[in-house]
Amino acid sequence: MTEGQSVDFMIDIIGLCSCPGGSYDLTCIATPCPNVSIDLSDNFTELCLNQLEGPINLIASVTGGDPAISGVWSGDGVSQDGMWDAPASGVGIFNFDYTYSIDGCDFVESIEVQLFGEPDATVIVNNPPCPEDGDTGSIEVLPVGGSGDYEFLVDGELFLENIIDNIAGGAHSLIVVDDNGCEVALTFSIDLPATFNIELTGDRLLSAGDAAQIIVETNISSSVVDSIVWTQNGVVVDCTSPPDCFTFDFTAGETTQEYCATLYYNGECQISDCLIIEIQPDIPMVYIPNSFSPNGDNINDMFKIGVSDGVIAINSFLIYDRWGELVYFAPETAPLMMIEDIGWDGTFKGEDLQPGVYVYVISVSTILSENEVYTGDITIIR
């Protein structure tokens, strides 16, 4: 029927009961349907399956109808009141109808909902193997599932490539987002290598010809040490304590030397330290006896001093008796070549002095000092 069209009905009542029969005439005229509109929520047209927390309530808003009349939902797995267990439905496209009936008029609206599968990912972490490699690492993200290209957010920062460098040490968050806006949240950690120490210990000041040893002190476990390479003034030298080479034995040369040890560990890491060995000059020495016997037997008849290399000259050579009287003095300055000629025969003014204790005051020049003074006692024995 169209709006305004009429239909006449005649009804004859026929029965076997005692009630009287009768005839009735009825005319029906088609009236217009109410002005009803249905608005379906479009918040659920595209959903990520892994982000659903439970069933979804489909919502319809009717305008122009009777508030006392409710419509009915129909479709895949939805109840009449619009409850849909979307998580149990799985990935796919689902169609739902909402039918609202009033005054013999049916109003129908439809909605299509698509559920997307979620992405996932494997994270390959590349930690810096050695302290000298810096304090950052990198990751390679291998996404699977989902759809299309992926975006990656590390601690909220967006990256478009799946290899991400310069990530600081510690724990981090990672979100992988696909073209549908579906995402998966992951975590990973960049583990920085332990910091190790190495120190070479040993005497730093030696004399030429001294035997010495340098020792490697380190907090690296010997179980992860691959090798130790020694150098002398930049030239590799053989290890003197194989197989571990934690010590190095050598004889001091004539000049300053630099010894270095490079310790290799964990297959690809290394740490080094160096020790500079200084060679000290010979220390000038003056040897002074404490007695002599001037008795003419040509054995220990003179009081003389002995000197080592580094003594340049005798500045003064004075002998006093116990009362403080000067009984002998050498020339004012005697160069090294004349030191053997300097000495006291135990006389004073040509006369032998009595046995006893006398005092000497001797001054010398050395390569380290212009005036070194020695004092002490000398005993005459006859």
Angle ∠(334,337,338) on CA atoms, nearest 5: 45
Handedness of CA 62, 68, 73, 74 (dihedral sign): negative
Return mean pLDDT, the chain: 88
What are the residues whose beta carbons fall under 8 Å from the beta carbon of 198, sequence distance 6 or more?
216, 217, 218, 220, 261, 263, 271, 272, 273
Question: Residues of 243-269 as b/e, b for ≥16 C-beta within 10 angstroms?
Answer: eebbbbebebeeeebebbbbbbbeeeb
Helices (H), the chain: 86-89
Q: Which of 171, 113, 181 is nearest to 146 (CA)?
A: 181
pLDDT tens for each residue of 59-98: 888 888 888 888 999 998 899 998 999 899 999 999 999 9
**Tokens 């076997």 belong to residue:** 16
What are the residues whose beta carbons fall under 8 Å from the beta carbon of 217, sequence distance 6 or more?
198, 199, 200, 201
**Helix, strand or coil, per DSSP, at residue 92:** strand
pLDDT tens for each residue of 30-61: 666 777 676 766 566 888 988 888 898 888 88
User: DSSP code of 143?
Assistant: E
**Tokens 């960049």 belong to residue:** 190
At 176, the pLDDT band (50, 70, 90 cuts) reads very high
* Whole-angstrom distance, CA of residue 49 vs CA of residue 1: 46
At 368, the pLDDT band (50, 70, 90 cuts) reads confident
CATH of 119-190, one of 2.60.40.1080, 2.30.42.10, 3.40.50.1970, 2.30.30.40: 2.60.40.1080
Does the pLDDT at position 294 exceed 80? Answer: yes
Does the pLDDT at position 135 exceed 80? Answer: yes
What are the residues whose beta carbons fall under 8 Å from the beta carbon of 315, sequence distance 6 or more?
332, 333, 363, 364, 365, 371
As its CATH architecture, domain 198-279 has Sandwich (2.60)
Fold match between 119-190 and 198-279? yes
Does the pLDDT at position 2 exceed 80? Answer: no
Torsional class of 350: left (φ above 0), alpha (ψ -120 to 50), beta (otherwise): left
* Whole-angstrom distance, CA of residue 318 vs CA of residue 330: 7
Position with higher pLDDT, 285 vs 177: 177
**Helix, strand or coil, per DSSP, at residue 126:** strand
Domain boundaries, the chain: 1-111, 119-190, 198-279, 286-380
pLDDT the model gives residue 348: 95
pLDDT the model gives residue 197: 94
pTM over 0.75: no
Q: Which of 324, 234, 241, 317 is nearest to 272 (CA)?
A: 234
pLDDT the model gives residue 124: 97
pLDDT the model gives residue 333: 63
pLDDT tens for each residue of 90-126: 999 999 999 999 888 889 988 899 999 989 999 999 9
Q: Which of 61, 155, 58 is nearest to 111 (CA)?
A: 58
pLDDT the model gives residue 303: 94
User: Residue 27 burial (CB < 10 Å; 0-12/13-18/19+)?
Assistant: exposed
As its CATH architecture, domain 286-380 has Sandwich (2.60)
